Amino acid sequence: MAGELRYDDQVVVVTGAGGGLGKAYATFFGSRGAKVVVNDLGGSFKGEGNSTKAADVVVNEIKAAGGQAVANYDSVENGDRIIDTAVKAFGRVDVLINNAGILRDVSFKNMTDQDWDLLMKVHVKGAYKCTRAAWPHFRKQKYGRVINTASAAGLFGNFGQANYSAAKLAMVGFTETLAKEGAKYNIICNVIAPIAASRMTETIMPPDMLENLKPEWVVPLVAVLVHKNNTSENGGIFEAGGGHVAKLRWERSSGLLLKADDSYTPGAILKKWDKVTDFSNPQYPTGPNDFMSLLEESMKMGPNEQGEKLDFTGRVALVT
Ligand code: NAI
């Protein structure tokens, strides 16, 4: 079709592509000219068991539609084997979509070390191992596109998901640093927080809502971000689902700056707490560098005032 975004001859690796979002990415790229590595361990959504069936079904679907694909059945913890599959089958790797994931939802009180460790292994170590294996190829060819998968649970927290939230926000920090390190090699990394109907969400969302959250509706954003024409959106955090796409960023209050000496007490902060939380003139930081200029300003200031606070009798008390 005229004007459609194409990925001809590009090698796209999708982890966890045997179902849900991963399958939607894999079949899309397969239909737009890419050679696709369909990775899936084929276990349960809690990370138990394994099977070759999930990946095979998707590979067969892509091939039946005239596309090119190979299966890989390794866990993402063995990311080097997944990237090896791409290089052996197709000679290169251009795009990596770190999508594989599991859930171990349980209240924090009842969380076990196994619930925590397994989540970190699949989400954090898995994304690290796959990206680490692809990175030398990307650098050598001066081209690479990476998508990491976060979650609203990671950005905002969600009851029963302390392990998942921690793993998912890790994907944001991981992406931000890779974006900075990869930029001069034309390696572009972005992170998405998707929302879609899948076996992961079918038990927690009502059917009419799931109907409006097809995994296919997350695909267009990913397609734009990993396309070769995207040379500007790097290190972005995006939400996508149900036809909605948005970009997120950090916001910092204009803040309180005090002299850092003996007069910099809890009371001195308390007195001006409204400044700490005042978002009327916010900043949108993208890196750690602006801290030094604040430090210089603080050094030039006079001593801080003591704080004032109402005590239990309603009298104004001095707080230091
Ligand atoms: P899904 O359960 O349908 O798909 C995940 C796939 O990853 C499965 O096919 C599974 O076999 C595979 N997988 C699991 N562990 C693996 C491992 N160690 N190695 C290789 N493959 C493995 O779930 P869904 O919903 O498609 O999730 C995809 C990604 O999107 C996950 O990272 C998930 O955390 C994330 N996500 C999904 C949301 C949603 O609304 N569906 C919301 C926020 C994030």
Tens-place pLDDT, residues 267-310:
999 999 999 999 999 999 988 777 777 778 888 888 888 777 66
- Please give the distance, rounded to the nearest whole angstrom, from the Cα atom of residue 82 to the centre of ligand 1: 16
Structural domain count, the chain:
2
What CATH number does residue 90 fall under?
3.40.50.720
- What CA–CA distances, in Å, run from 137 to 26, 74, 120, 186, 248? 21, 20, 25, 12, 30
Do residue 205 and residue 282 come from a single domain? no
93 lies in the same domain as 221: yes
The model's pTM: 0.95
C-alpha–C-alpha distance, residues 98 and 113, integer Å: 24
The answer to the question of residue 261 being in a domain is no
Domain residues for the domain of 272 are 266-319
pLDDT digits (tens, 9 = 90+) for 168-182: 999 999 999 999 999
pLDDT tens digits for 48-88? 999 999 999 999 999 999 999 999 999 999 999 999 999 99
Tell me the one-letter amino acid at 221. Answer: L
Report yes or no on 253 lying in a domain.
Answer: no
Percent of the chain predicted with pLDDT > 70: 98
User: Does 275 fall in a domain?
Assistant: yes
| 185 CA distance to ligand 1 middle (Å) | 29
- Asked if residue 218 lies in contact with residue 192, where contact means CB atoms within 8 angstroms, the answer is yes
Q: How confident is the model at residue 1 (pLDDT cuts 50, 70, 90)?
A: low
Assess if residue 259 is contained within a domain: no
Residue with tokens 């979650």, as numbered in its chain? 151
When the pLDDT of each residue in the chain is averaged and rounded to a whole number, the result is: 94
CA-nearest residue, atom 34 of ligand 1: 101
Residues 32 and 164 in one domain: yes
> For 126-152, what is each residue's pLDDT tens digit?
999 999 999 999 999 999 999 999 999
Return the closest-CA partner of residue 140 out of 103, 91, 194: 91
Give yes or no: residues 32 and 145 share one domain: yes
Same domain membership, residue 152 and residue 276: no
Biggest alpha carbon–alpha carbon distance for the chain: 80
pLDDT at 306: 75
The DSSP symbol for 100 reads -
Give the C-alpha separation, 213 to 204, whole Å.
13
Residue 3 placed within a domain: no
156-171 mean pLDDT:
98
For ligand 1, which residues put their CB under 6 angstroms from it? 15-16, 18-22, 39-43, 45, 47, 54, 75-76, 99-102, 122, 126, 149, 151, 194-196, 198-201
**Gap between the Cα atoms of 67 and 294, Å rounded:** 55
Task: Collapse the DSSP code of 270 into the 3-class scheme (helix H, G, I; strand E, B; otherwise coil) and give the result.
Answer: helix
Distance (Å, whole) CA 266 – CA 268: 6
Rounded to an integer, the average pLDDT of 237-264 is 95
Burial of 186 (0-12, 13-18, 19+ CB in 10 A): middle
What mean pLDDT do residues 28-43 have? Answer: 98
Q: Are residues 188 and 289 in the same domain?
A: no
Q: What is the pLDDT of residue 196?
A: 96
Mark whether 20 and 46 lie in a shared domain. Answer: yes
Residues 210 and 296 in one domain: no
What Cα–Cα distance (Å) separates residue 200 from each residue in 19, 24, 119?
A: 10, 15, 14
Report how far Cα 117 is from the mean position of its chain's Cα atoms.
19
pLDDT confidence tier of residue 243, bands split at 50, 70 and 90: very high
| Domain assignment present for 234 | yes
227 and 158 in one domain? yes
**281: its two tokens:** 């003139």
Q: What are phi and psi of 271, to 5 degrees?
A: -60, -30
